[in-house]
């Protein structure tokens, strides 16, 4: 009897679509054993790509505060079928799962689809996904989904280079390298090689035991934790909480506040972030044990 696999994702650039399809390929290769269904989340009114002008920054408060938009209903073959495994692909906007993903999770459709089902989360991000994953864990727990694995693919370039390349990609649509800047996003080699994670997931599914799955994925490079970026995320979440609530509350001043937030964000990346890095390095001997413990937790799938 065939087992049913559901692949949920949203993609603007096509990058995450490639990743989840490569991870699902080992299941596609055994059509006699697995039936793979793809569900691309679609908003009733989608976001533009490339992002024009300040639209990207204007999306910040709703992104961070997890304010949903209306989605189109999932297809009947998604709503009316019980799945044996769900591969859940998502991207991060402003340290939070993207608005389309949040919109699905808050739509009323998600619980029926995810409930009592093993889920492997798959993120394709610039580099800061750790605390966003914590937010997603809460949704999955509240829907009684079983998180059994997590794969986090990132841009391997340094934090500052990846800021420049992602902004170029989002605002112009240019992913390819230009001048002194490399190509944006996750490398083509890593995307092409993502199928190895699908092989690992399929192996554990055939053994009917997902318990060792996450350690196996981590051992094979599916999750990289950069402690410095965890610290940046923690600081960022505190600051984003203040800014997002201020912009939402002061509706009449929103255009001005969004412009100020844009200036602040750029300053934080280029000025505040290096200061955080210095303190991170200085405190390394004192906080070594705590950071190792935190790294192990973030590589896992449990929720504190």
Contact 114, 140 (CB under 8 A): yes
The model's pLDDT over 83-125, given as tens digits with 9 standing for 90+, comes to 999 999 999 999 999 999 999 999 999 999 999 999 999 999 9
Q: What is the pLDDT of residue 166?
A: 94
Residue 107: predicted pLDDT: 96
**Among 297, 120, 295, which Cα is nearest to 200's?**
120
**Distance of alpha carbon 29 from the chain centroid:** 26
Residue 268: predicted pLDDT = 86
Question: Under a CB-based contact definition with an 8 Å cutoff, are residues 103 and 73 in contact?
Answer: no
Residues of the chain with pLDDT under 50: none
List of residues 6+ apart from 287 with CB closer than 8 A: none
pLDDT of residue 276: 78
Instruction: Tell me what pLDDT residue 1 has.
Output: 84
pLDDT at 215: 98
The residues near 170 (Cβ < 8 Å, ≥ 6 apart) are 49, 50, 51, 56
Say if residues 24 and 204 touch (Cβ distance below 8 Å): no
How many angstroms separate the CA atoms of 95 and 279, rounded?
22
296, two tokens: 């192990």
Query: Model pTM?
Result: 0.95
Q: What is the pLDDT of residue 301?
A: 98
- Crossing angle, helix 227-249 and helix 273-282, to 10 degrees? 140
Amino acid 32: pLDDT:
95
pLDDT at 116: 97
- Give the DSSP letter of residue 183: -
CATH fold of 3-225: Rossmann fold (3.40.50)
Q: Output the CA–CA distances (angstroms, integers) from residue 278 to 126, 158, 185, in the order listed.
A: 22, 16, 26
pLDDT of residue 110: 97
Cα–Cα dist 102/136, whole Å: 9
Residue ranges of domains in the chain: 3-225, 229-295
């Amino acid at each position: 009897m065939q087992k049913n696999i559901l692949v949920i994702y949203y993609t603007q650039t096509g990058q995450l679509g490639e990743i989840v399809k490569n991870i699902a390929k080992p299941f596609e290769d055994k059509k006699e054993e697995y039936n793979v269904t793809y569900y691309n989340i679609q908003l009733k009114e989608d976001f533009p790509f490339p992002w024009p002008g300040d639209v990207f920054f204007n999306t910040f408060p709703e992104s961070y505060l997890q304010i949903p938009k209306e989605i189109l209903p999932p297809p009947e073959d998604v709503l009316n079928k019980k799945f044996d495994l769900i591969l859940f692909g998502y991207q991060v906007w402003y340290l939070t799962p993207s608005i389309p993903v949040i919109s699905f999770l808050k739509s009323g459709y998600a619980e029926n689809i995810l409930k009592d089902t093993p889920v492997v989360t798959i993120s394709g991000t610039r580099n800061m996904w750790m605390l966003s994953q914590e937010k997603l864990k809460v949704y999955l727990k509240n829907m009684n989904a079983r998180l059994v694995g997590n794969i986090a693919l990132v841009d391997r370039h340094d934090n500052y280079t990846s800021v420049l390349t992602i902004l170029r990609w989002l605002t112009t649509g240019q992913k390819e390298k230009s001048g002194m800047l490399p190509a944006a996003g996750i490398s083509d080699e890593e995307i092409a090689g993502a199928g190895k994670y699908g092989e690992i997931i399929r192996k554990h599914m055939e053994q009917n035991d997902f318990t060792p799955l996450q350690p196996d994925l981590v051992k094979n490079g599916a999750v990289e934790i950069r402690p410095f970026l965890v610290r940046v995320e923690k600081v960022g979440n505190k600051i984003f909480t203040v800014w997002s609530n201020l912009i939402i509350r002061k509706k009449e001043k929103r255009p001005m506040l969004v412009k100020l937030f844009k200036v602040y964000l750029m300053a934080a990346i280029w000025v505040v972030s290096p200061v955080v890095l210095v303190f991170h390095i200085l405190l390394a001997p004192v906080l070594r044990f705590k950071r190792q413990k935190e790294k192990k937790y973030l590589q896992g799938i449990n929720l504190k």
